[in-house]
C-alpha cells in the first residue's frame, strides 16, 4: 500500500511532500483512524496535509464558527411568522456533543434549537437529523443519537421532537419540544454507529446503521439478515400503524423473506456515515472502510454491499471470496489516498456549471474535495488501474470534513470538526483560491 502510494503511475519516486504526508498519516492513524469522530482527539493537532488539486473548481468560505464537531447540516425554509407566507432560510447544525443550533442564513442570527444528553465517547453522540418532508404543516424533527437507556450503556435512538412554528419563535428563544423514541437498537461497541437518517423522495425514513463496531465486524452483523446492524433500514415514521412508532413499508424488499428483518432495505454495510438521495431518487452511500478501502455505493432495493465478505472491491481477510449477489462499489479509494471517506451529494446547483450532475464527497482527514466524473456518476466505470470509479480533486480546504450539506438551491456546504460550517463556492477566475488551502472568511 505504502509502496504504491510512494510511486506515481509511471513508477517514478513520489515528491518529498508525499513521503512526509505518508509519515504524518501513519503517525496520526493510531488515534485518528481508530477514534474517528472522537471527542478526545485534539483536532487542533491534526495537521492540514497537502493534497494536489487537479481540477480547481471550488473554493471555501467560512460561514459560521464555534460549532464544535459538526455532524449534520440541514437547510429548511422556515415560516417567518406562523401561518403567514414569508419564509426565512435556516440552517440546522447538529453537533456531536448533543446540541442542534439554528442559523438564519441571511442575517446569520443564531441560537440553540435543542440540547440532549448523549454519550460522546468515540463515535457516539448526536449524529443526524431529518425534518418531516411535510414541514411546516408537520413540525416533527427526527434525531439520531446514542444515549444511555436504562441498563443499556449504548443505544442508538431515533427520537422525535416538535420544532417551533416560526423563525420569530426561534429568535424569541423557543426550543424544540422532546417527544417519544420512534426507533432504538442497542450498540455492542462505541464505534460504527452509522448516524444519518434521511427521508427519501418516497417519504420513508432511511436509517443508516453501522456494523456495531470494534473492528472487522467480529459478530458478522453486516451479512446477518436477522440483525439490523450493518444495514440500511427503511421505515414509515410519518404514518405508522396504530400503536406502533413506525411501520414497515409494503414494498420493502424482505418482508416475506425467511430469516430477514423486514426493516432492511440493503445489507452488507460497514459504517454508512453519510448518505443522500439525488434528483433521480438514487441513494448514494459513503461507506467508511476498515483498513484499506474507502468506498461509495449506489444502493438499490435489497442490495447486498458486501461487508464483511468484501472491503470495497477486495476480499476481506481472504484471498478468494464469493462475489455472487454482491453489489460492487461505484468508487473506491485506497488508503492513504483516502482514509475516512465522508459521503456527499450529487451537485444539482447552478453556481458551478462544471460540477452539475457529479457526485461530490470529502474525507475526514484529508483536505480534498472530490467529484466523480460524469461517467462515474452515471454508471460503473473502471480506472486504468482496475479500481472502480473515476474522480478528480476539485478543491482543497483546511477542515476536518465530517459532513456535507445541500441547501434548497442545490448548493453544497461542508461541516467540520474544527467547529465550522464552510460554504462551497466557485473558484475565482484567477484560480488562486481553489488550491490555496485556506478557507476565506466571508464574515464582514
Ligand atoms: Ca461494500
Tell me the per-residue pLDDT of 125-154, one tens digit each, with 9 for 90 and over. 999 999 999 999 999 999 999 999 999 999
What's the whole-number mean pLDDT along residues 215-235? 97
CA 262 / ligand 1 centre spacing (Å) = 21
Pairing of strands 440-441, 58-64: parallel
CA 438 / ligand 1 centre spacing (Å) = 33
Which position has the higher pLDDT, 436 or 425?
425
Taking the C-alpha atoms of residue 195 and residue 327, their distance in angstroms, rounded to an integer, is: 22
Helices and strands per DSSP (H, E), number in the chain: 4, 27
pLDDT above 80 (res 7): no
Q: Are 156 and 209 in contact (CB under 8 A)?
A: yes
pLDDT above 50 (res 1): no
Q: Would you give the end-to-end CA distance of the chain in angstroms?
A: 45
pLDDT of the residue at 8: 39
Instruction: Tell me which residue has cell 418531516.
Output: 132
Tell me the per-residue pLDDT of 295-305, one tens digit each, with 9 for 90 and over. 999 999 999 99
> What cell does 147 get?
444515549
What's the whole-number mean pLDDT along residues 61-89? 97
CA 330 / ligand 1 centre spacing (Å) = 10
CA 308 / ligand 1 centre spacing (Å) = 8
Taking the C-alpha atoms of residue 223 and residue 189, their distance in angstroms, rounded to an integer, is: 18
Backbone CA torsion sign across 215, 218, 224, 226:
negative
At the top level of CATH, the class of 2-441 is mainly beta
CA 268 / ligand 1 centre spacing (Å) = 6
| Pick from 121, 143, 122: nearest CA to 132 | 143
pLDDT above 70 (res 4): no
CA 225 / ligand 1 centre spacing (Å) = 16
CA 313 / ligand 1 centre spacing (Å) = 7
Tell me the per-residue pLDDT of 367-387, one tens digit each, with 9 for 90 and over. 999 999 999 999 999 999 999
Question: Domain boundaries in the chain?
Answer: 2-441
CA 4 / ligand 1 centre spacing (Å) = 23
For residue 49, what are the CA distances in angstroms to 161, 210, 332, 336, 370? 40, 28, 21, 12, 15
pLDDT band at 61 (very low <50, low <70, confident <90, very high): very high
CA 239 / ligand 1 centre spacing (Å) = 32
CA 46 / ligand 1 centre spacing (Å) = 28
pLDDT of the residue at 18: 55
Give 35's Cβ-side CA count (13 Å radius): 14
CA 108 / ligand 1 centre spacing (Å) = 40
Determine which of 47-51, 271-275, 354-358, 394-398 has the lowest per-residue pLDDT on average: 47-51
CA 266 / ligand 1 centre spacing (Å) = 11
Cα dihedral value 398, 400, 404, 410, nearest 10: 0
Mean pLDDT of the chain: 91
pLDDT of the residue at 434: 47
Run of H or E residues at 3: helix 2-5
Amino acid at each position: 500500500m505504502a509502496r504504491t502510494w510512494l510511486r506515481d503511475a509511471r513508477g517514478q519516486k513520489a515528491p518529498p511532500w508525499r513521503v512526509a504526508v505518508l509519515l504524518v498519516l501513519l503517525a496520526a492513524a493510531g488515534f485518528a483512524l481508530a477514534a474517528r469522530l472522537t471527542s478526545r482527539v485534539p483536532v487542533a493537532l491534526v495537521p492540514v496535509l497537502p493534497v494536489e488539486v487537479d481540477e480547481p473548481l471550488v473554493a471555501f468560505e467560512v460561514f459560521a464558527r464555534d460549532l464544535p464537531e459538526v455532524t449534520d447540516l440541514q437547510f429548511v425554509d422556515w415560516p417567518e411568522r406562523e401561518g403567514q407566507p414569508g419564509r426565512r432560510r435556516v440552517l440546522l447544525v447538529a453537533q456531536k456533543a448533543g446540541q442542534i443550533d439554528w442559523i438564519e442564513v441571511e442575517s446569520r442570527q443564531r441560537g440553540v434549537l435543542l440540547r440532549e444528553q448523549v454519550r460522546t465517547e468515540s463515535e457516539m453522540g448526536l449524529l443526524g437529523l431529518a425534518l418531516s418532508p411535510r414541514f411546516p404543516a408537520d413540525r416533527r424533527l427526527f434525531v439520531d443519537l446514542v444515549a444511555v437507556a436504562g441498563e443499556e450503556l449504548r443505544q442508538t435512538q431515533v427520537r422525535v421532537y416538535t420544532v417551533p412554528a416560526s423563525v420569530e419563535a426561534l429568535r424569541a428563544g423557543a426550543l424544540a419540544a422532546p417527544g417519544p423514541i420512534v426507533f432504538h437498537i442497542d450498540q455492542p461497541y462505541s464505534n460504527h454507529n452509522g448516524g444519518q437518517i434521511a427521508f427519501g423522495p418516497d417519504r420513508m425514513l432511511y436509517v443508516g446503521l453501522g456494523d456495531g463496531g470494534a473492528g472487522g465486524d467480529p459478530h458478522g452483523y453486516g451479512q446477518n439478515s436477522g440483525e439490523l446492524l450493518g444495514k440500511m433500514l427503511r421505515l414509515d415514521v410519518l404514518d405508522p400503524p396504530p400503536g406502533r412508532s413506525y411501520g414497515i413499508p409494503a414494498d420493502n424488499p424482505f418482508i416475506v423473506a425467511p430469516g430477514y428483518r423486514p426493516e432492511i432495505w440493503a445489507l452488507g454495510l460497514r459504517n454508512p456515515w453519510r448518505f443522500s438521495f439525488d434528483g433521480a431518487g438514487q441513494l448514494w452511500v459513503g461507506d467508511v472502510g476498515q483498513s484499506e478501502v474507502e468506498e461509495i455505493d449506489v444502493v438499490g432495493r435489497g442490495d447486498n454491499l458486501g461487508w464483511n465478505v468484501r472491503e470495497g472491491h477486495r476480499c476481506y481477510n481472504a484471498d478468494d471470496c464469493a462475489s455472487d449477489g454482491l453489489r460492487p462499489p461505484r468508487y473506491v479509494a485506497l488508503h492513504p489516498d483516502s482514509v475516512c471517506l465522508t459521503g456527499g451529494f450529487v451537485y444539482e446547483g447552478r453556481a458551478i456549471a462544471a460540477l452539475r450532475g457529479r457526485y461530490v464527497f470529502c474525507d475526514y482527514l484529508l483536505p480534498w474535495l472530490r467529484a466523480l466524473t460524469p461517467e462515474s456518476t452515471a454508471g460503473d466505470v473502471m480506472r486504468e488501474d482496475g479500481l472502480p470509479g473515476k474522480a478528480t480533486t476539485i478543491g482543497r480546504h483546511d477542515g476536518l470534513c465530517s459532513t456535507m450539506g445541500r441547501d434548497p438551491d442545490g448548493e453544497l456546504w461542508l461541516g467540520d470538526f474544527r467547529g465550522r460550517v464552510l460554504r462551497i463556492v466557485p473558484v475565482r477566475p484567477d484560480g488562486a483560491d481553489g488550491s490555496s488551502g485556506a478557507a476565506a472568511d466571508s464574515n464582514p
